[in-house]
Amino acid sequence: MDRLNRPLNKAAIKKADDEFYATHPELIDNGKRPPLSLTDPDQADYRNEWIDLYKKHDGEIESKQDDFPERKPDDTCVSCEATCKNNFVTNIAGPSQIVIGEKAEYIVNSYSPSNISDDCKDKVKWRVEVYGKCDTKKPIRVIEDCSTITSVFKIERDKLSIIKVPSIWFCCIAVYAYITTPTIKVRQVSKVKGRIQPILLFERKHDPQKDDMKYGDMSNQEFKQYYMPVCERKTKKHLMIIDAMNSNPLKIFGPKPVWKNEKYITDSCEKNYINFINKSDDEHFALFKSLIEWQSIGALETVALDIIKKVKENKANNEVNYENSTLNERAKVHESSKRFLNNEIVPQLKEKLSSANGDIHNMSLFDSHKMGYPTFNTFMDKVKGMGIVFNGTEGSKVELIDYECVGNDKFRAKLRITVYDHFGLDTNDIKIDNPNERRIHMSIHPFKFLTWAYLQRVKGYKPIVTQIRYEEVVEDRFP
């Protein structure tokens, strides 16, 4: 390696530094330009490249040892390998940043010797390396000869045009121009920007055949088996309270309390059921609406009533039928969504990126056994409306929609998170004794809750598949 003459040329140092770090933005760390190591063998090519730039800007060296042998002025290059192999590309120019879907151009700026013939220029080859991390040490894919991929590249002698930057390129690329052998000293590193095509990372599909998606599958007689236990328990509790209020505590003997008269209770509920099934659909929807109004407030009440309107239109199918911006916003800031992101999505994203060496297009899907799902069933969810509108979840999906490298060891990823739920009732939801989370609704508003089930299971109003969708940006270090 050449040794620099002392004293050093400060102006040449500044110009060499400016040009070197413009060519290698991947070496810049948080806006700082760290000096090259004088002993690290991995940086030998970088040191030689910097010295060439120092000489280019009139910096002096003790002994001249050109990497590219000069030819005599009267030498001319003819179209033969024996002659052209002594000609070299010494510099190429190109953008420091390219954009997915747009055009980019690279051109040879100089040769050695400078009077290289057109025949030898025709022998310039182009090589592209794609990196998943911006340390440009280990490419994830290499295009050895760009002339073989005419759908992406167009070559005009010593000019390379990328017709349209492919969406599978990301982070950064290194473009080499050479006649005999590519060298790290003659390349242009370009950072890749732009929105990628969405990449599926995880999906747990909702099941359209689940019991809570069934409708019109019961007769009045079949539904009665769910109505009667609810009615009998509610009636018995009501009669117990009345009896307690009216009884004489000193009275030991007397008629049997009404609440212990099973036949009386059953007969009352039989009459109530007849009245219940004889209500019009509008009357049932009015009760359904009052249930929703009791279990929601503010903006989420508006969302819930809008869903009921969709149910009444009865145009739903097994696909996603409802999405609302208010619902998306509330879900994104919910503590359960944050746990889903930080405890399950981010660790898996880092693990899969590391395994694929940063190649987002070769990442494996997230491990399903490590993935949970957000739930919206806290006490305040039940009070404010999130519980009645969304409650638990029936499916979820995570997609990578944007990605870029930040420095040498960081990445920034934009994720689209989608969560599904069924706005419908299964048979467990309407049983009086069940561990289901909707039990509180049964105890407070059992007949209104049964109205919802009756509209779905007997009257045939289709359940709604609701969807929450929001985006999150994750910035972290590679593991």
Domain span holding position 34: 10-56
Structure tokens at 115: 């009077």
- Is 2 a member of any domain? no
Which of 45-49, 340-344, 384-388 is the least confident region? 45-49
Q: In Å, what is the CA distance from 387 to each residue of 296, 297, 301, 375, 454?
A: 9, 12, 11, 9, 20
Q: What is the mean pLDDT of residues 254-270?
A: 76
State how far the Cα of 369 lies from the Cα of 215, in Å rounded to an integer. Answer: 32
Q: In Å, what is the CA distance from 201 to each residue of 45, 361, 393?
A: 38, 10, 18
Based on the fold, state whether residues 86 and 48 are members of the same structural domain.
Answer: no
- Is 67 a member of any domain? no
How does the average pLDDT of the chain come out, rounded?
84
Based on the fold, state whether residues 210 and 179 are members of the same structural domain.
Answer: no
Based on the fold, state whether residues 342 and 370 are members of the same structural domain.
Answer: yes
- Is 181 a member of any domain? yes
Q: How far is CA 225 from the centre of its chain?
A: 45
What pLDDT, on a 0 to 100 scale, did the predictor assign at position 85? 73
Instruction: Express each pLDDT in 339-353 by its tens digit.
Output: 999 999 999 999 998
Question: How buried is residue 466: exposed, middle or buried, by Cβ count under 10 Å (0-12/13-18/19+)?
Answer: buried
Based on the fold, state whether residues 287 and 422 are members of the same structural domain.
Answer: yes
The 3-state DSSP class for residue 194 equals coil
Q: Which CATH number do you get for residue 166? A: 2.60.40
Give the total number of structural domains in the chain: 3
- Is 250 a member of any domain? yes
Spatial strand order in the sheet of 159-162: 88-93, 104-112, 159-162, 153-156
Region of 171 on the Ramachandran plot (φ > 0 left; ψ -120 to 50 alpha; else beta): left
Any long-range contacts for 26-31 (C-beta under 8 Å, 24+ apart)? 26/134, 26/135, 26/136, 26/172, 26/189, 26/191, 26/408, 27/408, 28/407, 29/407, 29/408, 30/407
| Domain end among 160, 194, 228 | 194
Q: Which residue has the higher pLDDT, 252 or 361?
A: 361
Based on the fold, state whether residues 160 and 215 are members of the same structural domain.
Answer: no
- Is 75 a member of any domain? no
Question: How buried is residue 262: exposed, middle or buried, by Cβ count under 10 Å (0-12/13-18/19+)?
Answer: exposed
Based on the fold, state whether residues 149 and 229 are members of the same structural domain.
Answer: no
HEC string for 225-241:
HHHHHHHHHHHHHHHHH
3-state helix, strand, coil in the chain (%, to 5): 40, 20, 40
What pLDDT, on a 0 to 100 scale, did the predictor assign at position 440? 41
Tell me if 89 sits within 8 A of 184, measured CB to CB. no
pLDDT band at 54 (very low <50, low <70, confident <90, very high): confident
State how far the Cα of 308 lies from the Cα of 194, in Å rounded to an integer. Answer: 41
State how far the Cα of 150 lies from the Cα of 159, in Å rounded to an integer. Answer: 14
Instruction: Express each pLDDT in 295-321 by its tens digit.
Output: 888 999 999 999 999 999 887 676 777
What pLDDT, on a 0 to 100 scale, did the predictor assign at position 257? 59
| Domain end among 162, 194, 226 | 194
- Is 430 a member of any domain? yes
pLDDT at 252 over 60: no
Q: How far is CA 226 from the centre of its chain?
A: 42
- Is 199 a member of any domain? no
Based on the fold, state whether residues 184 and 108 are members of the same structural domain.
Answer: yes
Based on the fold, state whether residues 157 and 245 are members of the same structural domain.
Answer: no
Based on the fold, state whether residues 427 and 384 are members of the same structural domain.
Answer: yes
Identify residue 406 by its one-letter amino acid code.
V
pLDDT at 364 over 50: yes
pLDDT band at 124 (very low <50, low <70, confident <90, very high): very high
Q: What is the mean pLDDT of residues 391-398?
A: 89
pLDDT at 106 over 90: yes
Instruction: Give the angle 330-336-341 at the CA atoms, nearest 5°.
Output: 100
Structure tokens at 17: 């530094």
Based on the fold, state whether residues 163 and 255 are members of the same structural domain.
Answer: no
Based on the fold, state whether residues 140 and 281 are members of the same structural domain.
Answer: no
Structure tokens at 268: 């009352």
Instruction: Express each pLDDT in 170-211 by its tens digit.
Output: 788 999 999 988 998 899 999 888 777 889 999 999 998 999
- Is 449 a member of any domain? yes
Based on the fold, state whether residues 165 and 91 are members of the same structural domain.
Answer: yes
pTM greater than the 0.75 cutoff? no
State how far the Cα of 185 lies from the Cα of 446, in Å rounded to an integer. Answer: 77
Identify residue 262 by its one-letter amino acid code.
E
| Domain end among 147, 175, 194 | 194
pLDDT over 90 for what percent of the chain?
A: 42
Question: Which residues have a Cβ under 8 Å from the Cβ of 475 and sit 6 or more positions away?
Answer: 406, 410, 411, 412, 413
Nearest by Cα to 400 from 206, 205, 204, 195: 195
Backbone angles phi, psi at 239, to 5 degrees: -70, -35
Q: What is the mean pLDDT of residues 381-391?
A: 85
Question: How buried is residue 445: exposed, middle or buried, by Cβ count under 10 Å (0-12/13-18/19+)?
Answer: middle
Tell me if 358 sits within 8 A of 405, measured CB to CB. yes
pLDDT band at 109 (very low <50, low <70, confident <90, very high): very high
